[in-house]
Copies of this chain bind each other. A is one copy, B any other.
Amino acid sequence: MPPPARPVGIKDIARALGVSIGTVDRALHDKPGINPDTRRRVLDTAAALGYRPNLAARHLKSRTTIRISVQLPQEIALFWDSLRDGIREAAALFEPTLQVEFRSNPRLGEGEVELFEQALASGVNGIIVAPGDPVALEPCIRQAARDNIPVICVVTDAPNTERLASVSADPFTVGSVAGELLSRFLPNGGDVAFFTGWLGTEDHAEKLRGFDASVNAVGQGVHVVAVVEAHDDERTGYRRALAVLDAHPDLKGIYVSTVNSLPVLRAVERKGRTGQVAIVTTDLFPALVPRIRQGQVAATIYQRPVTQGRHALQALYQFLLDGTKPPTRIKVVPHVVMRSNLDLLLERRPLEGETRWRPAGGWRLAAGGGLAGQEGHAQKPRPARGLPPGAPPSARRLPPD
């Protein structure tokens, strides 16, 4: 526990060595015009003194804002808007330094190449994207890599490309959790079906592997009797679900690993099998909420877009700022959402205070129940220890943006 000494700055190093701060600056930044020997001495004493750059001062000086382009679909608004919220929230911490530009394509995979090229042309410093069609996007990402523009994939991945990192709920785990849940829900065993979009998609294949592994591991007579590709098409999904239900009159469980679960649910309803089939779905959208409430859907695996957005932005920003390279795959632990915690999830977005503190009134009033009635401005209270000098400016809300 060294006593919290004053942080050592650039001029402490300068003084210790008897050089000027300019020299220290040159040394610390690998800039030309400095004697290699001096540079070494500066770096040494910097390390010895435990120099940590004052980020505030750095940001203040370098007036260049980092620009990050975020391109996501609009389609399932509840999901992608949450993702945007997560990004916005994380970006708010780095206020003036960072600038986020949102671009939207109508739905996953549509027009994303154009958007990407547009972002590249606009000269941004980094890109966050949810690749709907990874192969189509591959040359774009390669071009970005050539331009030294880091790209982070979120939710979906573009494997084997030069992206900086990918943020997602680990698909194997997602499938595995679904499989374990279904197995536990069926202690007497039974047949289950697996619905997905395309098995060609790496994510979906991974989910299937996880699902399989999990079902076999618990191993109490639960069998995967059908693996169905719905191609994210309403009618295809509906028809194939009907077919599966017909072919397996004793089907006990279904996991829909793509977000497009409504056709399957409708098929189960149509066949009058609601309640006889335990259903696990993926993610959360408005139409799913009542079905969870009334128990038709036992659980849904939520991929936590807000958290993914936060991680994506933080990783990208850190990299742009000081070159810290994130792990290639940032894994988010998915949520198991059931009737019991559905409301908690929907009411979320905490950490957003409503009321503001008035120094004159004292914040104790809030707990006691007394509401601050009078403004009481222009009376300077004793500056209590609890409040720092960087005192509350007047109430300002973020514009809706």
Contact = CB atoms under 8 A, between A and B. Distances in A.
A356 B298 CA distance: 44
Per CB-CB distance, the 3 closest pairs between chain A and chain B, nearest first, are A323-B357, A148-B386, A323-B392
Main secondary structure, interface of A, reads loop
Given A179-B340, A344-B173, A394 B4 contact: no
A148 to B, nearest CB: 3
Interface of A: 4, 7, 27-32, 36, 43, 46-47, 50-60, 62, 64-67, 93, 95-97, 99, 101, 123, 125-126, 145-150, 161-164, 170, 173, 176-177, 179-181, 184-188, 210, 214, 217-218, 278, 295, 298-299, 311, 314-315, 318-327, 330-331, 333-336, 338-341, 343-345, 347-348, 350-359, 362-364, 366-368, 377-380, 384-394, 396, 399
A393 B29 contact: yes
A354 B187 CA distance: 43
Given A323-B356, A351-B330, A393-B28, A52 B96 contact: yes
A313 to B, nearest CB: 11
Contacts of A57: 56, 60
Contacts of A187: 185-188
Nearest to A25: B393
A275 to B, nearest CB: 10
Contact of A390 (B96, B311, B322, B355): B322
Given A56-B97, A148-B386, A319-B357, A336 B339 contact: no
5 contacts: A4-B101, A32-B379, A125-B386, A164-B363, A327-B354
Number of identical monomers bound together in the oligomeric complex: 2
A150 B99 CA distance: 32
Given A50-B399, A335-B335, 8 more contacts: A30-B391, A32-B380, A148-B386, A177-B340, A214-B340, A315-B351, A322-B392, A323-B357
Contacts of A59: 56, 390
Contact of A60 (B60, B66, B218, B385): B60
A390 B321 contact: yes
